[in-house]
Structure 1
Amino acid sequence: MNNKYLLLAVLPFLFAACQNLPQQHTNKPNTMLTENKAIHLSQTLTDYYWSYQTQNNLPNITVNFDKNQRFNIATGCNQQGGTWQLKDQALTTSPLHSTLMMCSPELMLQEKRSADLFSQAQLKIQMSHDQAHTPQLQLTDKNGKTYLFKGEIKPEAQYQSEGEIIFLAIAPEAKPCLTNPNAECLQVKEIKYNDQGIQSDIDQNWKILPESIQGYTHDPKMKKVIRVKRFKSKEAPLKYAYIYDMTVQQDILTP
């Protein structure tokens, strides 16, 4: 009898202990899927430049999101920028800052469109691909209007490296390419600068650059020094990719 009463006395504590045991979270796989989707979305967002065409006769609005949660916008007129973050399939942005150049009325209007969309905004975001597998970024504003931006992969993502900044002097006269005499290649000299920005070294002889410089338009009437990013390609034999960054110096040739 004593054992029977002892068992009856202990049962309430056993039930209470069972109720306090940690419960399994059945939604953990869903949580992981959501987190992985958010990481993939953020990675794609920062791996591409995103362009939106407002009118055929105007430059695209191009947005660059970086991994430090900052973004900048090229509108064809002033440069705009701010900070961004992703949360629950929404893109939230800070108030924009901007340069203050005067431009044509058409470009100023385009700049206003960009500011209206991205300044202190909360935009629904959706990623997709077109038939050519080019990423597309769909942004929907608070009024339900959608904007479709096309992606162009950044060279850092394409070549999986940050690239090397170099400076090249560009000769006005192009020369036949070494591997294809029927095509013309640029003549270049690499220039180096010290920490004070003073030229410290320059190649003595012009070299024919076998690769083109992406984004650079050559003018045979100009002698230029440009800054480029140089990336090692994964092709064999080793090749380089050159991406135009900016013009440092240019001189017009006199007849």
Structure 2
Amino acid sequence: MKRILLLALPVALMTACNNTPAPAPADATPPASTAPAAAAPVDGAQLGANHWVLDTATDSAGKRIDALFARADKPVTLDFADGRLAVDNTCNRMGGGYTLAGDQLSVSRMASTMMACADPALMALDQAVGQRLEGTLKISQLDASTLVLGNAAGDVLRFRGEPTAETRYGGPGETVFLEVDAQTRPCPHPLIPDKQCLQVREVQYDDKGLEQGKRGEFTNFYDGIEGYSHQDGVRNVLRVKRYAVKNPPADASSQAYVLDMVVSSETAKK
């Protein structure tokens, strides 16, 4: 019996040696990493090239966020410029700083004007916008026509792009201030019979916002001002951007005017 055990011992040792895994070759390729790839950086210039108009907004359950559509005729609109996000068509003008990192858009706490709106839904719109835009958002799509943002709560906001005036006219415009008189006047035009023209004169301010010089006479203003709707009987001072139009048609102006903001308004005395 002892002899059988002694013979079996070398066989067991040989079997154990044969089951030892062979060492990996020195030039073996290590296994591929399973870490997720870094997100591609977002084109910040594309963000600034458009006004972004809210088209759809849904919560984590896929339900429409009705609170964001209090102004059906004027959807919430975002503008990105110089590290600042501006929000228009809310009850108050809203804005805050933003930064980009990969596909992450971080928006600081936004400030706003303090105007009260009679419509409760419109008053609630400011809060609804702030809740969904402040903080870190993921940009899941950004191209010339679409911006899609998602937040940590699962809300998804889809915007359509409308090119800014800078994009359409190929560069930054010149800022000018125009006073628009309360009433339009008939003005001669070779192609438009009975044309009525805005009555406009330029206003000069220094870098501290103090008016300089004396205002001249009102003159016929044959161009339009994009974004401005004149109301008879109301005199306005406007801040506008003036752009050079490249290769305008023979019967069109070589300049384009786009409303930046209404500086002041007053009802004219009758």
Using structure 1 for the length normalisation, give the TM-score. 0.72
Q: CA deviation at 1:230?
A: 0.8
- Cα distance, 1:138–1:169 mapped onto 2, change above 3 Å: same
Residue aligning to 2:166: 156
Residue 232 of structure 1 is matched in structure 2 by 244
- Measured in 2, the distance between the counterparts of 1:124 and 1:249 equals 38
Cα distance change on mapping 1:193 and 1:127 into 2, 3 Å = closer
Maintained 8 Å contact 1:77/1:101: yes
CA distance in 1, matches of 2:192, 2:148: 45
**CA contact 2:133–2:151 (8 Å) conserved in 1:** no
Task: State which structure, 1 or 2, has the greater radius of gyration over its C-alpha atoms.
Answer: 2
**AA paired with 2:124?**
L
RMSD of Structure 2 on Structure 1 (CA): 2.8
**What per-residue deviation string (whole Å, max 9, x for no partner) do you get for residues 84-127 of structure 1?**
22223222222333334433320232112211111112323312
- What corresponds to 1:9 in structure 2? none
Structure 2 unaligned regions, length at least 5: 1-26, 28-37, 56-67
Contact 2:198 2:221 in 1 (8 A): yes
2:143 matched to 1:141? no
In the TM superposition, 1:1-255 aligns within 5 A as: 34=40, 38=42, 41-52=43-54, 54-55=68-69, 57-58=71-72, 59-66=74-81, 68-103=82-117, 104-128=119-143, 135-171=145-181, 172-176=183-187, 178-182=189-193, 183-195=195-207, 197-204=210-217, 206-236=218-248, 239-255=254-270
Distance 2:205 2:99 in 1: 37
Distance in 2 between residues matched to 1:107 and 1:214, nearest whole Å? 25
Task: State the Cα distance separating 1:217 from its structure 2 match.
Answer: 0.9
- Please state how far the C-alpha of 1:45 moved relative to its aligned partner: 0.4
CA contact 2:242–2:258 (8 Å) conserved in 1: yes
Partner AA of 1:63 in structure 2: L
Q: Does the 8 Å CA contact 2:226/2:258 hold for their aligned counterparts?
A: yes
Identity of aligned residues (%): 26
CA distance in 1, matches of 2:174, 2:233: 28
* Higher helix residue share: 1
Q: Does the C-alpha gap of structure 1 residues 74 and 247 become closer, same or farther in structure 2, counting only changes over 3 Å?
A: closer
Could you tell me how far apart the structure 1 residues matched to 2:110 and 2:70 are?
26
The CA deviation string for residues 145-200 of structure 1, in whole angstroms up to 9 with x for no partner, is 32111222221222233211212222312323524333433222222234551231
Task: For 2:122 and 2:146, locate their aligned partners in 1 and report how far apart those are by CA, in whole Å.
Answer: 24
1:211 Cα offset (Å): 1.4
Q: Is residue 193–residue 201 contact of structure 1 (8 Å, CA) maintained in 2?
A: no
* Distance in 2 of aligned mates of 1:126 and 1:150: 11
**Contact 2:71 2:89 (8 Å CA) reproduced:** no
| TM-score normalised to structure 2 length | 0.68
CA, structure 1 residues 179+232, in 2 after alignment: closer, same or farther (shift >3 Å)? farther
Contact 2:70 2:125 in 1 (8 A): no
Displacement of 1:56 after TM fit?
Answer: 6.5
**Which structure's relative contact order is higher, taking Cα pairs within 8 Å and 6+ residues apart?**
2
Structure 2: distance between partners of 1:219 and 1:159: 28
Structure 1, 143-152 or 114-123: larger mean CA deviation: 143-152
The alpha-carbon distance between structure 1 residues 76 and 106, as it changes in their structure 2 partners (threshold 3 A), is same
Residue 140 of structure 1 deviates from its aligned partner by 1.9
- Using the TM superposition, give the Cα deviation of residue 249 of structure 1 relative to its aligned residue in structure 2, in angstroms: 3.6
